[in-house]
Structure 1
Amino acid sequence: MRPLTAENLDYALDHSPAADRFFRRLQAALAGAGLPVEAVKTEGAPGQVEVTFPYGGALAACDGHLAFKHAVRAIGSRAGLAPTFMAAPETGVGSGLHLHLSLWKDGTSVISDSGGALSAPAQNAIAGLLDALPQMGVLYAPNINSYKRYAPGSFAPTTASWGHDNRTCAIRVVGHGEGRHLEVRVPGADANPYLALAAAVAAMNHGIEHRLTPGPAEASDAYREGATPLPSTLHQAQIAFRHSPTVREALGADVVEHYAHLAQLELDHHHRIVTDAERRRWLSRA
């Protein structure tokens, strides 16, 4: 297989006829299903595409995401394409499922205070995300491949960090006025949207209920040493998830055991599989 596009076409205005046909058919199909898109654009890696949707309710967004994935696969297959939602489909390539979350009360955004600074509930929510998300990896990064997306310099986060319009952070504060919100950048494109969103909302609730406060915003490179790391393997994530009092309080013991067991099944599946990469590295060297 070869990528649909051969180079970095991030924000490009011109696309190949094959790519242009696919994008137009996808937009038409989604609009017909009641899922109008905000934008469809090529991204930085060859063959990589970003699709964004208007804001909406949480459950409806998750339902729509599943319909979107089905449409991408069906329309792509008819066009002779092979779409994938792998978090790391190629070495050095990462694709995310960024969640954009806001805080509202009585129809009004409460993410900013009267002076325009982050409100106390917003700071609590950020602190909850930073505290809990490193312990919830199995919910937003569910398989072995998921963790190959997290690499320094990749714009995929590797630390529990936050900042204002800082794409190296796990939590990015973005927007203005009532459009100001939190972008949670940790889930990969392979994430189950219901579980990834449940993890983020539970983490925000954890911070608000316990009135946690975040450290200073990261103003430069969040890949620096010293910050709290996100799990770098499914094995690390499963251990943190299974033994976290915070996760058990937020989700309940039955849920924790179920998804920890699911992660173990994934680990066991891969444990004895011999890969092409191993053969290339060791066939003539061992």
Structure 2
Amino acid sequence: MTAAPPSFTRLPRLSTPSASAAQNPSAARQLPTGRLGLDELRSAVKAGLVDTVVLALPNLQGQLKGKRYGARHFIDRVANGSAEMCKYLLATDINMPPVDGFDLTSWESGYEDVAVVPAFATLRMMPWLPRTALVLGDAIGPNEQPLNLAPRQILRDQLTQLAAHGLHAQVGLETEFVLYRGTYTKTTRVGSGGLVPASEDNLDYALDHSPAMDRYFRRLQSALSRAGMPVEAIKTEGAPGQVEITFPYGGALAACDRHLVFKHAVRTLAGRAGMTATFMASPQTGVASGLHVHVSLTRSGNTVLPTPDGELSLIGERAVAGLLSALPGLAPLYAPNVNSYKRYVPKCPCGTACAAGARVGGRGVE
């Protein structure tokens, strides 16, 4: 059985503005889309098509943290070097208090800055923010090497170890979230008089969505496509207001990078539509949202987890055994909050007898 080929769409590129574009205001106003190279960003900034660049450092909670730069300042002062961000971004929890007890940073050693270098392979437009480009950054340690506890570097290290065995990981993600009508604040309640789901019924696989949900889906799908992250499918799920979005298979690091940007788009566009989007594991009793991670391992282009007849291979058996052994200790990573454990109840399809339920399919193990 062969691995499913990556289904990436060729991304549009930005051409350097020409003299004819300068004479044609409508052509000059044509915004770039998709992923960009640094030279393309310079051209877009020079043409006035991009005025803001967001440099984001992924944190331990799967969020984007960083700064918005004036585009010209970013090009002149940051692009060829680095920026500074506080180290505590990599040593805190979801509420971001300065926490003691970390070797990286603490009250004793001081909450100093860390250099963040733009990873230009991640540079793309953010169509949900006007004239804005985004680039993820890598935190650099005192030895001029990426900090090994930064999430992107943790994943890189694991992929390097796989590559030493001739193995390459492909990942496809299915993400669930819930849409509520209304804007969330800390004093907002869920239910009557507060936030209510964007739909009232179980709309699993439904195709008769409300006009508000249809508009939101169209705007989100269009924005993600123009950011160079086309979706595979959008569907409503079983809980009221619940949505699942599936992305095409691809490299593991790229898939995780895109997922961070995707969550930013989901929340931003929901806010502009007068709604609130939450990826919380269980925002209400009986409502459970998760992230399905579909993984395949290939060697020389051939999948190695299943056998040709669809059974688990020896490598597949060892992969599942490793998951069953490691997942209890990894719980603080995949279930980091008290709310996470509200999913683990009887008759929830999220694995209550053990931490992992493995299925072998044409593309790998789920």
What TM-score, normalized to structure 1? Answer: 0.58
Q: Counterpart of 2:359?
A: 173
Shift of 1:113: 2.4
Aligned residue in 2 for 1:43 = 237
Q: Which residue of 2 aligns with 1:130?
A: 324
Question: What's the RMSD between the two structures over aligned residues?
Answer: 1.2
1:83 pairs with 2:281: no
- The structure where helix makes up a greater share of residues is 1
- Distance apart, 1:172 and its partner CA: 3.1
Q: Which letter does structure 1 place at the counterpart of 2:240?
A: P
1:105 Cα deviation after fit: 0.7
Q: Residues 55-204 of structure 1: matches in 2 within 5 Å?
A: 55-160=249-354, 170-176=356-362, 179=363, 181-183=364-366
Alignment-mate amino acid for residue 241 of structure 2: G
In the other structure, the counterpart of 1:238 is: none
Query: Which AA in structure 2 matches 1:50?
Result: E
Q: Secondary structure at the match of 1:182?
A: coil
> Partner letter of residue 110 of structure 1?
V
Deviation at 1:173, TM superposition (A): 1.3
- Aligned twin of 2:196: 2
CA deviation after TM superposition for structure 1 residue 16, in Å: 0.2
For the Cα contact (< 8 Å) 1:112–1:119, is it kept in 2? yes
CA distance in 1, matches of 2:212, 2:206: 15
Q: CA deviation at 1:171?
A: 2.3
Give 1:131 deviation, angstroms: 1.2
Would you say 1:31 and 2:225 are equivalent positions?
A: yes
Paired with 1:115 and 1:47, the residues of 2 have a C-alpha distance of 39
CA distance in 1, matches of 2:343, 2:205: 22
Residue-by-residue CA offset, 1:81-110 (whole Å, 9 max, x unaligned): 011110000011110011111111111111
| TM-superposition CA deviations, 1:19-76 (whole Å, max 9, x none) | 0000010000000111111111100000100011010111111110011000001110
Pair 105,82 (structure 1): closer, same or farther in 2 beyond 3 Å: same
Greater Rg over alpha carbons, structure: 2
Q: In structure 2, what residue type is equivalent to 1:134? A: P
Shift of 1:139: 0.7
The aligned residue for residue 39 of structure 2 is none
What's the offset of the Cα at 1:8? 0.4
Q: TM-score, normalised by structure 2?
A: 0.46
Structure 1 residue 130: Cα displacement = 1.0
**Residue of structure 2 in register with 1:223 after alignment:** none
Secondary structure in 1 matching 2:259? helix
Structure 1: gaps (5+ residues): 162-169, 184-286
Letter in 2 for 1:173: R
- In structure 2, C-alpha distance between the alignment counterparts of 1:16 and 1:115, rounded to whole Å: 44
Aligned positions, number: 172
- Bigger fraction of residues in strand: 2
List structure 1 segments (4+ residues) > 4 angstroms apart after TM superposition: none
Q: CA deviation at 1:115?
A: 4.3
Check the 8 A contact 1:30/1:68 in 2, yes or no: yes
Instruction: Give the corresponding residue for 1:254.
Output: none
Is the 8 Å Cα contact of residues 8 and 46 (structure 1) preserved in structure 2? yes
Task: Confirm or deny that 1:54 pairs with 2:248.
Answer: yes
Counterpart of 1:120, as a letter, is L
1:103/1:122 contact within 8 Å kept = no
The 1:115–1:9 alpha-carbon spacing in structure 2 relative to 1, beyond 3 Å, is closer
Contact 1:10 1:42 (C-alpha < 8 Å) held by counterparts:
yes
Identity %: 61
| Alpha-carbon distance, 1:3 to partner | 0.2
Conservation of the 8 A alpha-carbon contact between 1:171 and 1:182: no
Task: Indicate yes or no: 2:212 matched with 1:18.
Answer: yes
How many angstroms does 1:117 deviate by? 2.3
Q: Which amino acid aligns with 2:303?
A: S
Check the 8 A contact 1:174/1:182 in 2, yes or no: yes
